[in-house]
C-alpha cells in the first residue's frame, strides 16, 4: 500500500518468527558521491542522534527493548542505491510486553528525523570521529585479500561506470572531502525527496504499522522512475596482474552476460550459473577443486542487474594457467551441452532448495519484497520453482553462448617459487 | 521419546537415546519450509592423544587429524556423499572445532532420504592411500588461506599463546607438515574410537513430524551392526590448565592498522551442569557491563579513539579450557592494551559502578537468546549434549534470569587473573 505519494508500505504478516523485522529505505539513483555520502550518514546515524547523543545512550535504549537490533546501512541494486534503517525486535507476546514494537517505531522515528545536529551541521566532534573511523575501516578492508581482489576486478569492469565500481563501503577519497554542514543538507534533502519504502515482516498487520507511523513527518515526493537494470555494450577484454606477499594467490575473472532480472532467459541464466560455479556441485567446484586439487575454492556469481558474471578462485600462483584452462573448458562444455542429466537435475534441485529455504528467513523475505517494489513485479515461490523446473539443457547452453569474457585480475603471491608442491 | 515444552520460547523438544547409544533431538518448527540436521561427534582438534578402542596404550596422531577426517568422510569408493545429498536437492557441509566435528545438511524436500544419507556416510568410513594423499593438496590450500587472514591469525594465535603446552596451540586444520604425515590407518583408528554412536548426537530442526522422523532414524540405526559402546580415554586435563603461557607475541603482516588481542585464560575450577552454564552467563553479563556498548568505560575508550567499532570480545567455554579474548584494531597498540588492562585491574570497582545497568544488559541477553531461535542453524549448531551435563540452550533464558549481580561479581572475581593474560599484536609490515 501507499502511505503517501512516493511512500510505500509492505507488510508480510507471519507468526513464523520470534521477532518483528522492520526496514525503512530511502532510495535514489546511484552516483559515486551519493553512495559515499550515504555510507558516512549510515555511520553517523547508527551511533548518535539528538535524543541518544552517545553510542552508549543509543545502545542502552536498544538493550532495554530486550536486545533489539538496529542498524543503518547502504544497498545497491544496479543503478539504484538505498539508505536503510533496520530494526529487529522480539515479538512482544513472547516477552509479556506488548508495547515493545511501538517503542521500536518511536525509537526509529527519533533516530531518522532527529540527527545529532549543532549549528546547522552534524555535531562536529561526532562527525570528525566517525569520518575518521570510517576511513580507517575502509583502509583495513584491504587486509582481506579476497575483498581486495574482488574490488580490483570491479574497478576494471566498471571503469566507465564508477558508481557501480565504488565499494559498498564507500570511497575513502570522497568521504574525506565531506563536511558536517554539507552532509546534513544532503541528508535533509534525502529525507524530503527520496522514494521511501517501508517493509515489515512479523506477527503484525498493515493497519497496525500504518498507525505506528501516523506521526512520521514524511511529505509526498516524486516516486522513483529509474529501473535498476544496467544495459551495456560489449566491452573489450582487459587484464591486470598485481604482486603481494600472500600465501594464496587470487584469480578473478569477469564476463558479460546480458540477461536482466526476470527477463525471459533469467531462469535459464540462474541454472547456467548454478551449473558453472554458483553451487557447491558446480563444474568449477568439481573440476578445479575436487578433481585437480588446484584450489581451495572456485565459484561463480551472476548479477542480473549489471549483467556481470564473475569467477573467484584461491590458488597457488604457479597453477594460474592450468586453472584458467579448466575454467574455460567448463564454459565450453556448457556451451556444447556436455554435462550429465544427473548434474543438471542436481543443480535445479539445489536452486529450488535455496529458494524455498529463503521463506524461512525474515531478512530474505524483506529483501525480496523491496526488490519486487523496485522492479515492479512479484514472482511467488511456487511460480519461481515452476519457472526453474521448466528450464531445459538447450536453453542453458544458449545462455552460455552469450557469455563473453571481459576482464582477468590476478593477485600473485610474491614468493611463490619457494613454495613446495603440496601433493 | 521424551517431550519437553519450553513456554518462554514457545518450543517443544523431542529427545531419545537409541539402543546403540546415539542421542537424538528433534525440534519441529511450525511454519518453516526447511529442515536442518546436524550429526556431531564429541571429538575435535584437541583430541589427538587417546587410547584407541581395543588397545591399552595411548597414541598421538598428527595435528589436524579430526579436520582431515571430516574432509575425507564424504568420499566413498564409487561416489561422493555430497552428490547423494545433491541428488535430493540438499546442501551439505561439515565443520570441525577444538572439541567437536559436525556433519550437516539442510533441505526443503526428501527429508527421509537425506537423513539416511547423513547417518550412512558418517557411519561408513572409506579411506585409501590415494584419496588421503589427494586431500592434502586441498587442505594445504585451506591452511594457507587462513595464514593470510590477519583476523584468523589474531584469534587463533592468541589461543595458541594461552595454551602453549596443549593441543589448543595447533591450528584446527593442522600445519602443512603435520597433515603430510596423516595416513588412512590413522583415520580409521580415530573413526573407530570417536564415531561410536554413544559419543554422538543428532539434532534435527525445522519442518518435521517427530514420530515419523524418529521412526526413520531408529530404523536406520537398527539395521546396522555396531560394536559395544566403549568408554573413551583421551588425554585431557580435567583440572583447569596451570601450565606455561606466552605473555606477549608480535607478528608482522600486511595490515593497515595494528590489531591487538588480549587473551584472558581462566585458571579457576569450573562447576558442573547448570552451575557451569550460569557461571558462563555471569561472565558474559560481567563483560557486557565493562566492555559492552552500554558500558561507560567502553564509551570513554571509544571517545578517546583508543578503540572503535572493530572492538569486540568473545567468551569461550569448552571442554578442557575457558578463556575470554578482547580484540580490536587501534592506531596505538600501547594505549589500547593499557586502557583494557586498567579496566580489568579495577574490574570489581567498575562493576559496582555499573550495577544500575545490570537489568539492562540482562534484558538484552534474554531478548537476543529468544531471537536466536529464529535460525534453525543457530539452534542446531549451538545445541551441545556434553558441555553442561543436560542443561542446554533451551534453558538459557532461565539461566540468565537466575543470574544475580552478586553472581556476576563472584564469577568475574574468580575468572579474571592478570597473571594469565596473553597479548598478541599484529603490526603493519610485510
CB A59 within 8 A of CB A101: no
pLDDT (tens place) for every residue of chain B, 430 residues total: 999 999 989 999 999 999 999 999 999 999 999 999 999 999 999 999 999 998 999 999 999 999 999 999 999 999 999 999 999 999 999 999 999 999 999 999 999 999 999 999 999 999 999 999 988 988 887 888 788 888 888 999 999 999 998 999 999 999 999 999 999 999 999 999 999 999 999 999 999 999 999 999 999 999 999 988 888 988 876 666 778 899 999 999 988 899 999 999 999 999 999 999 999 999 999 999 999 999 999 999 999 999 998 999 999 999 889 999 999 999 999 999 999 999 999 999 999 999 999 999 999 999 999 999 999 999 999 998 888 888 999 999 999 999 999 999 999 999 999 999 999 999 998 7
How far is Cα B272 from Cα B116, in angstroms, rounded to an integer? 35
Decide if A353 and B87 are in contact by the 8 Å CB cutoff.
no
Q: What is the pLDDT of residue B221?
A: 98
Q: What is the pLDDT of residues B69-87, one digit of tens each?
A: 999 999 999 999 999 999 9
User: What are the angstrom distances between the C-alpha of A314 and each of A287, A342, A416, B154?
Assistant: 14, 28, 13, 21
Report all structural domains of chain A as residue ranges with CATH numbers, in order of start. Answer: 2-212 (3.30.830.10), 238-418 (3.30.830.10)
- Lowest-confidence pick of A68-77, A195-204, B136-145, B176-185: B136-145
Decide if B360 and A64 are in contact by the 8 Å CB cutoff.
yes
Decide if B91 and A354 are in contact by the 8 Å CB cutoff.
yes
| CA nearest to B215, candidates B126, B306, B111, B358 | B111
How far is Cα A209 from Cα A225, in angstroms, rounded to an integer? 26
CB A131 within 8 A of CB A124: no
Strand partners, A314: A250, A297
Whether the CB of A88 is below 8 Å from some CB of chain B: the reply is yes
* Cβ burial B15-42 (10 Å sphere, 16+ → b, else e): beebebebbbbbbbbeebbbbbbbbbbb
User: What are the angstrom distances between the C-alpha of A299 and each of A253, A278, B33, B53?
Assistant: 10, 6, 27, 41
Would you state the cell numbers that stand for residue B72, as one nine-digit string?
575425507
Sign of the Cα torsion A121, A22, A377, A269 reads: positive
With bands split at pLDDT 50, 70 and 90, how would you rate the model's confidence at A232? confident
Q: What is the pLDDT of residue A417?
A: 45
Q: How many angstroms separate the CA of residue B366 from the nearest CA in chain A? A: 7
Q: What is the pLDDT of residue B75?
A: 92
How far is Cα A331 from Cα A311, in angstroms, rounded to an integer? 11
Q: How many angstroms separate the CA of residue A247 from the nearest CA in chain B? A: 6
Does A420 have pLDDT greater than 60? no
Q: What is the DSSP letter of B197?
A: G
| CA nearest to B340, candidates B418, B253, B251, B258 | B418
Q: What is the pLDDT of residues A292-329, one digit of tens each?
A: 667 778 999 999 999 999 999 988 899 999 999 999 99
How far is Cα B71 from Cα B196, in angstroms, rounded to an integer? 18
How far is Cα B337 from Cα B339, in angstroms, rounded to an integer? 6
Q: How many angstroms separate the CA of residue A268 from the nearest CA in chain B? A: 18
How far is Cα A283 from Cα A303, in angstroms, rounded to an integer? 19
Domain B2-234 belongs to what architecture?
2-Layer Sandwich (3.30)
Q: How many angstroms separate the CA of residue B272 from the nearest CA in chain A? A: 28
Question: Torsions phi, psi of B272, nearest 5?
Answer: -105, 165
Does A423 have pLDDT greater than 50? no
How far is Cα B194 from Cα B76, in angstroms, rounded to an integer? 19
Find the CB nearest A360 among B34, B80, B373. B34
- Report the CATH number of the B248-428 domain: 3.30.830.10
Which residue has 568505560 as its cell numbers? B297
Q: What is the pLDDT of residue A289?
A: 72
Q: What is the pLDDT of residue A292?
A: 66
For residues A66-91, give the mean pLDDT: 97
C-alpha distance across the termini of chain B, in Å = 59
Would you state the cell numbers that stand for residue B195, as one nine-digit string?
564415531
Q: What is the pLDDT of residue B279?
A: 97
- pLDDT > 90 fraction of chain A, expressed in percent and rounded: 85
With bands split at pLDDT 50, 70 and 90, how would you rate the model's confidence at A61? very high
- Listed by start position, the domains of chain B span 2-234, 248-428
Find the CB nearest A56 among B257, B299, B365. B299
Q: Which long-range contacts (CB under 8 A, 24 or more apart) does B234-239 make?
A: B234/B47, B234/B49, B234/B50, B234/B51, B235/B49, B235/B50, B235/B58, B236/B46, B236/B47, B236/B319, B236/B320, B237/B166, B237/B320, B239/B269
Fold match between domain B2-234 and domain B248-428: yes
Would you state the cell numbers that stand for residue A215, as one nine-digit string?
506521526
Whether the CB of A352 is below 8 Å from some CB of chain B: the reply is yes
How far is Cα B232 from Cα B211, in angstroms, rounded to an integer? 31
- pLDDT > 70 fraction of chain A, expressed in percent and rounded: 97
Kind of pairing between the strands at B421-428 and B312-318: unpaired
Question: Torsions phi, psi of B404, nearest 5?
Answer: -100, 165
CB B45 within 8 A of CB B67: yes
Decide if B148 and A145 are in contact by the 8 Å CB cutoff.
yes
Q: What is the pLDDT of residues A341-393, one digit of tens each?
A: 999 999 999 999 999 999 999 999 999 999 999 999 999 999 999 999 999 99
Sign of the Cα torsion A67, A68, A70, A76 reads: positive
Decide if B374 and A18 are in contact by the 8 Å CB cutoff.
yes
Does A422 have pLDDT greater than 60? no
Q: What is the pLDDT of residues A16-52, one digit of tens each?
A: 999 999 999 999 999 999 999 999 999 999 999 999 9
Decide if B91 and A293 are in contact by the 8 Å CB cutoff.
no
Give the number of other Cβ atoms within 10 Å of residue B359's Cβ.
12
Q: What is the pLDDT of residue B134?
A: 87
Whether the CB of A63 is below 8 Å from some CB of chain B: the reply is yes
Using alpha carbons only, what angle is made at residue A133 by residues A132 and A139, rounded to the nearest 5 degrees?
Answer: 90
How far is Cα B36 from Cα B139, in angstroms, rounded to an integer? 26
Q: What is the pLDDT of residues B4-41, one digit of tens each?
A: 999 989 999 999 999 999 999 999 999 999 999 999 99
- Note if B70 is an active site residue: yes
| CA nearest to B352, candidates B409, B404, B287, B417 | B409
Helix, strand, coil content of chain B in percent (nearest 5):
45, 20, 35
Q: What is the pLDDT of residue A290?
A: 65
Chain B residue numbers touching A129 (CB-CB < 8 A):
303, 305
Chain A residue numbers touching B376 (CB-CB < 8 A):
360
CB B374 within 8 A of CB A72: no
Amino acid at each position: 500500500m501507499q502511505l503517501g505519494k512516493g511512500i510505500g508500505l509492505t507488510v508480510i504478516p507471519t507468526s513464523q518468527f520470534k521477532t518483528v523485522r522492520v526496514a525503512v529505505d530511502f532510495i535514489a539513483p546511484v552516483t559515486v558521491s551519493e553512495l559515499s555520502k550515504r555510507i558516512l550518514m549510515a555511520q553517523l546515524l547508527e551511533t548518535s542522534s539528538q535524543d541518544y547523543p552517545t553510542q552508549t545512550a543509543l545502545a542502552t535504549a536498544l538493550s532495554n527493548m530486550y536486545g533489539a537490533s538496529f542498524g543503518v546501512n547502504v544497498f545497491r541494486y544496479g543503478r539504484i542505491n538505498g539508505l536503510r534503517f533496520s530494526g529487529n525486535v522480539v515479538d512482544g507476546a513472547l516477552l509479556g510486553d506488548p508495547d515493545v514494537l511501538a517503542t521500536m517505531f518511536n525509537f526509529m522515528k527519533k533516530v531518522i528525523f532527529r540527527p545529532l545536529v549543532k549549528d546547522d551541521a552534524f555535531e562536529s566532534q561526532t562527525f570528525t570521529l566517525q569520518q575518521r573511523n570510517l576511513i580507517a575501516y575502509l583502509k583495513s578492508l584491504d587486509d582481506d585479500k579476497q575483498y581486495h581482489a574482488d574490488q580490483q576486478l570491479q574497478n576494471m569492469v566498471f571503469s566507465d561506470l564508477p558508481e557501480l565500481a565504488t565499494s559498498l563501503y564507500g570511497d575513502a577519497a570522497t568521504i574525506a572531502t565531506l563536511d558536517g554542514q554539507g552532509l546534513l543538507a544532503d541528508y535533509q534533502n534525502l529525507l524530503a525527496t527520496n522514494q521511501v519504502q517501508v517493509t515489515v515482516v512479523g506477527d503484525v498487520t498493515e493497519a497496525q504499522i500504518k498507525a505506528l507511523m501516523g506521526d512520521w513527518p514524511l511529505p509526498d515526493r516524486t516516486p522513483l522512475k529509474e529501473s535498476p537494470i544496467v544495459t551495456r555494450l560489449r566491452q573489450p577484454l582487459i587484464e591486470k596482474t598485481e604482486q603481494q606477499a600472500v600465501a594464496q594467490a587470487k584469480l578473478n575473472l569477469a564476463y558479460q552476460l546480458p540477461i536482466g532480472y526476470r527477463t525471459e532467459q533469467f531462469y535459464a541464466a540462474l541454472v547456467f550459473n548454478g551449473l558453472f560455479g554458483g553451487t557447491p556441485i558446480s563444474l568449477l567446484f568439481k573440476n578445479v577443486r575436487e578433481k585437480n586439487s588446484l584450489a581451495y575454492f572456485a565459484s561463480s556469481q551472476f548479477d542480473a542487474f549489471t549483467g556481470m558474471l564473475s569467477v573467484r578462485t584461491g590458488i597457488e600462483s604457479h597453477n594460474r594457467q592450468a586453472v584458467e584452462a579448466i575454467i574455460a573448458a567448463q564454459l565450453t562444455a556448457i556451451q556444447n551441452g556436455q554435462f550429465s542429466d544427473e548434474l543438471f537435475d542436481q543443480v535445479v534441485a539445489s536452486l529450488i532448495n535455496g529458494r524455498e529455504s529463503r521463506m524461512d528467513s525474515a531478512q530474505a523475505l524483506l529483501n525480496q519484497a523491496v526488490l519486487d517494489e523496485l522492479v515492479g513485479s512479484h514472482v511467488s515461490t511456487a511460480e519461481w520453482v515452476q519457472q526453474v523446473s521448466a528450464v531445459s539443457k538447450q536453453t542453458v547452453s544458449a545462455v552460455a553462448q552469450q557469455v563473453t569474457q571481459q576482464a582477468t585480475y590476478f593477485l600473485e603471491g610474491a614468493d611463490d617459487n619457494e613454495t613446495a608442491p603440496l601433493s | 521419546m521424551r517431550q519437553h515444552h519450553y513456554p518462554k520460547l514457545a518450543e517443544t523438544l523431542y529427545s531419545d537415546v537409541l539402543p546403540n547409544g546415539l542421542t537424538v533431538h528433534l525440534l519441529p518448527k511450525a511454519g518453516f519450509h526447511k529442515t536442518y540436521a546436524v550429526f556431531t561427534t564429541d571429538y575435535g582438534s584437541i583430541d589427538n592423544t587417546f587410547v584407541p578402542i581395543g588397545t591399552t596404550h595411548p597414541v598421538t596422531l598428527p595435528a589436524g587429524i579430526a579436520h582431515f577426517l571430516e574432509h575425507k568422510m564424504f568420499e566413498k569408493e564409487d561416489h561422493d556423499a555430497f552428490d547423494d545429498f545433491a541428488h535430493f536437492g540438499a546442501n551439505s557441509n561439515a565443520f570441525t572445532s577444538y572439541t567437536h566435528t559436525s556433519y550437516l545438511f539442510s533441505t526443503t524436500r526428501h527429508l527421509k532420504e537425506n537423513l539416511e544419507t547423513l547417518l550412512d556416510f558418517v557411519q561408513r568410513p572409506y579411506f585409501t592411500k590415494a584419496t588421503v594423499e589427494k586431500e592434502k593438496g586441498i587442505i594445504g590450500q585451506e591452511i594457507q588461506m587462513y595464514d593470510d587472514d590477519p583476523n584468523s591469525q589474531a584469534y587463533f594465535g592468541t589461543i595458541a599463546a594461552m595454551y602453549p603446552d596443549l593441543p589448543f596451540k595447533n591450528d584446527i586444520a593442522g600445519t602443512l607438515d603435520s597433515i603430510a604425515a596423516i595416513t588412512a590407518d590413522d583415520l580409521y583408528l580415530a573413526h573407530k574410537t570417536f564415531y561410536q554412536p554413544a559419543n554422538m548426537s543428532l539434532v534435527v530442526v525445522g519442518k518435521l513430524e517427530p514420530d515419523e522422523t524418529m521412526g526413520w532414524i531408529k530404523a536406520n540405526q537398527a539395521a546396522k551392526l555396531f560394536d559395544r559402546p566403549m568408554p573413551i580415554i583421551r588425554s585431557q586435563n580435567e583440572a583447569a590448565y596451570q601450565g606455561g603461557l606466552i605473555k606477549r607475541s608480535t607478528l608482522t603482516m600486511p595490515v593497515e592498522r595494528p590489531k591487538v588481542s588480549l587473551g584472558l585464560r581462566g585458571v579457576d575450577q569450573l562447576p558442573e551442569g547448570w552451575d557451569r552454564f550460569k557461571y558462563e552467563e555471569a561472565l558474559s553479563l560481567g563483560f557486557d557491563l565493562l566492555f559492552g556498548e552500554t558500558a561507560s568505560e567502553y564509551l570513554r575508550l571509544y571517545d578517546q579513539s583508543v578503540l572503535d567499532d572493530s572492538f569486540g570480545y568473545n567468551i569461550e567455554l569448552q571442554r578442557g579450557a575457558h578463556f575470554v579474548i578482547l580484540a580490536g584494531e587501534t592506531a596505538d597498540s600501547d594505549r589500547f592494551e593499557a586502557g583494557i588492562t586498567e579496566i580489568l585491574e579495577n574490574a570489581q570497582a567498575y562493576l559496582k559502578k555499573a550495577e544500575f545497568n545490570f537489568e539492562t544488559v540482562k534484558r538484552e541477553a534474554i531478548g537476543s537468546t529468544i531471537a536466536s531461535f529464529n535460525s534453525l542453524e543457530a539452534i542446531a549448531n549451538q545445541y551441545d549434549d556434553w558441555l553442561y551435563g543436560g542443561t542446554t540452550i533451551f534453558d538459557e533464558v532461565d539461566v540468565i534470569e537466575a543470574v544475580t549481580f552478586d553472581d556476576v561479581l563472584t564469577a568475574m572475581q574468580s575468572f579474571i587473573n592478570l597473571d594469565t593474560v596473553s597479548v598478541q599484536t599484529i603490526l603493519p609490515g610485510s
